[in-house]
Every structure is written in structure tokens, then in C-alpha cells.
Amino acid sequence: MAGEDRSEAQLIEEAEGLRRQVADLERAAIAHQRAEETLRRRNRELELLYQDADRLRAFHENIVQSMEEGIVLEDAMGYMTFVNPKTADLLGYAPEELVGCHYREIVAPEGLKKAEEETAQRPLGVVSQYENILLTKEGQRVTVLTSARPLFEEASGGESAIPGQTGEASSHDGKRQLAGVLSVFVDITERKRAEEEIRRRTAQLESLRQVGLELSSQMELDALLHSIVSRATELLGGTEGGLYLYRPDRDVLEWTLSTGPHMVPTGTVLGRGEGLAGKVWENGQPRGVDDYRAWDGRAAKYEGHRWTSVAGVPVRWGDEFLGVLNVLAEAPGAFSMKDAKLLDLFASHAAIALRNAHLLQREQRQHELVAALADAAAVVSSTLDLDQVLDRILEQVERAVAGEAFNIMLLEAGVARPVRWRGYQQFGVEGVISTLTHPIAVVHSFRQMMESGESVVIADTATCPDWVVVPGMEWLRAYIAAPIRVGAETVGFLNVDSNRPGQFDAEDARRLEAFANHAATAIENARLYEQARRDAETKTTLLSEVNHRVKNNLSAIVGL
């Protein structure tokens, strides 16, 4: 349970980190409230100051230069007429560079809509407080909390006046007109970043919790792995993701599951050290690439794919390597070390899911094997019709061994010929299998089984140098067979074919051997029955001849 323990420990650590971040957020919320109070107080001070020119001059000289808040005055058209040093420093300008500029020039594109909405309320006397995003001289974004107060003057050109309360439109009675806007703001960029990080981490931990619930509810394996990959991809901001599983029989990584709009074809394989996943396998450590298309270690088979950033982590159960979990993104440099750590947590969940599924699958397959073998034994003892028995044995093999097509071959004069088969109709090759003959001398796997008495597994016929390709059977990519032996004599072979490379393993071979033993028993029973029948016929013939001779002898004696 090492993989599960590691995941739980990491979740506990993440939860503790989340609690600390929530505390930081609470402190930030208090600071936010204080900032709002400060802005309201500054606006009240400025309301009085702007009604007294002498006090305003003193304010400029003694206070404005050292204020921690930004202050901007705009005219009725939105052009800035005064900017204090704090504002200029925050945005990277000299104050004189900003005076005469329109407010739209310092608002980020994504904040213009909000700024226009607030501007539309100012002729009504609405004092607004809102968040928006400004642009520095270098194009960086700064999030600010702003309190904006409209300034009015008498239509005849009298002194300016400021409404005393938010939304006090009645102060503008038609004899006053908008003279400008006084805005006071504070920089809340870091607080917004902290809030966003806390929201992101909260979402990540909630997603991990949901995956844990799905694990405990024993979801179907493919659906569960798809959920894990999808959640990891979404939370890391990727465009697609996937899972390589390790195939020990071929010693390769096979891409078995994908999510996203430009999915890598399932069945794609990588060797050790090939591509990012191959290097994760080779080194056993998480790895990321900011620009895969320019990376020297990229796999040639992925040329032309749209993604740029790639993050990969190993999937392990204790010391057992199970595969590699990948997340991909089109934007370069999309993933951080925190993302790699999070992906590692999802890989732990994937390992638990794979392990649980393997145990459940093994238990189910064992139960199915016992039932299939019992049925095969029953049919062997139920009839002496060999064809019927072999057909029933193939039915039970199909239950216990995951192949696409099945056949039994018997040997005659050094040549193997299929005598019973099933599943080949889906490939349109029943005519081929019905006339197929294999001289033992030219088929390496048959000779090997005859010499060793053991089964044979060919994980991928395309990479097997001794494989004999039969016209029409090119679809056959994985093969498993067990010899049918009566005593010390090999009388035939029980064969299973698949169109999927890597379909069979040593466990399948052991299963097939058990059914081959039943087939041997059925063949031996049929032989014994046929021998007994021939012996009985011989005895009947001899008895008939003896009776005939006796009868003739008696007739001869009577005739005397």
C-alpha cells in the first residue's frame, strides 16, 4: 500500500497548506476592508479640500507628495489633469507624462468595459468603489481597488460641489454639470494573486478529493483513469493529457488513454529514453519541457503536433513501474514545479486505480477460469463426439482468454491442420483457416512446443523474426498457443489469435495449457473409444467367422 500511503500523506500536507492559505486570505480580507475604509476617508478629506483652494494648496504641498494611495483628477471628458507621485511610480511614469492623457490609455483592455460602466454612472452623482486592472508603461498589469467620486460645478461656472453620499443623484438638479472625477486607489495586485492561488489550490484539492471518492466507489477502470487525466489536465491548464502504460512483455510504453481536441493515437509506443515519457521512465523522475518542438530529446513520431509544453510524471506502485502520466499545452512554458507536484499526486491516484483494477480483474478472471474449466471438464465427460467436445472447449477458452479468434489444430503426418475454429468470420478469413496447413518443419513455434511441451507467447508478430505470415491473416498481431499432448506425444495445438499487439502474457499461457489438457483428454477418449469400437468390430467379425465355421462343421457332421 506504499502508493496509497504516499498519496494520503501528500493530501494531508496539501490540506495543511490550504489551511495556512485560508488564514492568509482572511488576513487579506481584513486588509481589503481597511483599504476600503481608507479610500472612503481619503474621499471625504478631499471633498472638503476641493471646496477650499488654500487648504487644497497646502494639501498638495504637505500631504499629496507622501500619500500611500494613488490620486488622479480627470476632467469631464476623462483626461487626467492631476496625478500624484504614488500613481506615477506605480505605473512607471513621471507625473507630467500622465497629465493630459485619457484614462483609457492606462486601463488594460480587459478592464475597459468595467471602466466605461463606471464612467456612465458619474453624471448621476454615483460614488463608485470597484476593482480594475491598469497597465504600466512596460505593459505589465496592476490590479487596483478604486474609489471614484464625481465633481460638479454650477452651470453658470460657480464653485465645484461634491455629492455627499453614494448615489445622491438629487444633488445634480439640472443646474449643475459634471466637472470631473476624483479617483483614489490602492494596489491590490499581490492580494489578488494570493486569492487566485488559494482558489486554484482549493479547486485542486477538491478535485483530488473527488478522485479519492471515485476510487473508493470502484468506478470502471477506463472511466476512472479518464477522470484522473481529465481533472489533471484541467487543473494544470493543459489542452490535452494522457496515460502511457508499461507493457513488460514488450518492454515499451503504450499510449492507452487520451483527452483533448488533438489526441495522440492510442497504441503509440515509446522505448526507454525515447521522448519525454521515455526519459521519465528511464530516470524515474518528473520532467517538463517548455517547448517540445525545439527540444533535442523529442520523439520523431510526434512531429507536427500542436502542443508545446509537456509535463510528465511516473506512475508507480511501490517499486513497480506502471506507466507515465502526461499533460500537454499549446502555450510554451505553461507548467511550473507546483504543477509537477500536483501531477505527481494524480499519478499516485492513477497507481491506486490500476492496482485495484488489476486485483479485481485477477479475481474475476480466476473465478471465470474456474467456471470455464469446470464446464470444459463436464463436456469432456458428457459425449464421445470429438467435434462437439472441441467446439465446447473453444467456447470455454473464449471465456477465459481475451483473444479474437480461436482454433484447434491436429497433427497428421507432420502437418498441422485446423479441425475446429471460431471467431474468424469477423475478419472474413474462414475460407483461409478451413484450408490452412502448416508443416511442422517450417513453423518455429510448433517445433518449440513439441520439443519443450510448453506453451508459446508471441507479443507482437510484427517483431518476431520467425513468424510465418499467411496471406489474408496480416491482421494477426499477437499469438498464444499450447501443445495438446497425449502422454509424451504432441497430437495438436490450441491456438488463440488477436489483432492487438501485447494482448497475451504468461498468465494467459498457463490458462491455455489447462484447456489444452482437456482437449488432450477429449482426443484420448475419442481415440480409446474408436479403438474399443474397432476391437469390438474385430471381435464381432471373428465371432461371426467362428460361428460360421462351427455351423458349417455341424452341417458337415449331420450330412455324414
pLDDT at 336: 83
pLDDT at 167: 40
Residue 1's pLDDT band (cuts 50, 70, 90): very low
268 or 376: which leads in pLDDT: 268
pTM attached to this predicted model: 0.47
Q: Which of 347-361, 451-465, 481-495 has the lowest mean pLDDT?
A: 347-361
Predicted confidence (pLDDT) at residue 82 exceeds the cutoff of 80: yes
**Distance (Å, whole) CA 70 – CA 88:** 8
Predicted confidence (pLDDT) at residue 515 exceeds the cutoff of 60: yes
3-state class (DSSP) for residue 360: helix
Residue identified by cell 477502470 is 221
Residue length of the chain? 560
Mean pLDDT of 74-96: 91
Residues of the chain with pLDDT > 70: what percent?
70
- The crossing angle, in degrees rounded to 10, of helices 189-216 and 2-49 is 150
For Cα atoms 51, 53, 59, give the angle at the middle one, nearest 5 degrees. Answer: 95
Mean pLDDT of 240-261: 86
CB contact at 8 A, 202 and 24: no
Mean pLDDT of 27-39: 61
Q: Which of 58-72, 191-205, 248-262, 317-331 has the lowest mean pLDDT?
A: 58-72
Burial of residue 189 (number of CB atoms within 10 Å: 0-12, 13-18, 19+): middle
Mean pLDDT of 266-287: 90
Predicted confidence (pLDDT) at residue 210 exceeds the cutoff of 80: no
Q: Which residues contact 94 (CB under 8 A, 6 or more apart)?
A: 88
Q: Which residues contact 125 (CB under 8 A, 6 or more apart)?
A: 150, 152, 163, 167, 168, 169, 170, 171, 172
How far is residue 32 CA from its own chain's centroid?
39
Strand ranges (DSSP E) for 362-430? 405-412, 415-422
Amino acid occupying residue 492: G
For Cα atoms 260, 263, 264, give the angle at the middle one, nearest 5 degrees. Answer: 150
Residue 57's pLDDT band (cuts 50, 70, 90): very low
Mean pLDDT of 243-268: 83
Predicted confidence (pLDDT) at residue 308 exceeds the cutoff of 90: no
Predicted confidence (pLDDT) at residue 324 exceeds the cutoff of 80: yes
- DSSP class of residue 175 equals S
Predicted confidence (pLDDT) at residue 409 exceeds the cutoff of 80: yes
- Express each pLDDT in 86-140 by its tens digit: 999 999 999 899 999 999 999 999 999 999 999 898 888 888 889 999 999 999 9
pLDDT at 445: 92
Residue identified by cell 511516473 is 314
3-state secondary structure labels for all residues of 75-110? ECCCEEEEECHHHHHHHCCCHHHHCCCEHHHHECHH
pLDDT at 524: 76
- The crossing angle, in degrees rounded to 10, of helices 337-382 and 189-216 is 10
Compute how many other C-beta atoms are within 10 angstroms of the C-beta atom of residue 43.
18
Exposed e or buried b for every residue in 364-388, given b needs 16+ CB within 10 A? Answer: ebeeebeebbebbbebbeeebebee
CB contact at 8 A, 325 and 229: yes
3-state class (DSSP) for residue 124: helix
- Express each pLDDT in 439-463 by its tens digit: 998 899 999 999 999 999 998 998 8
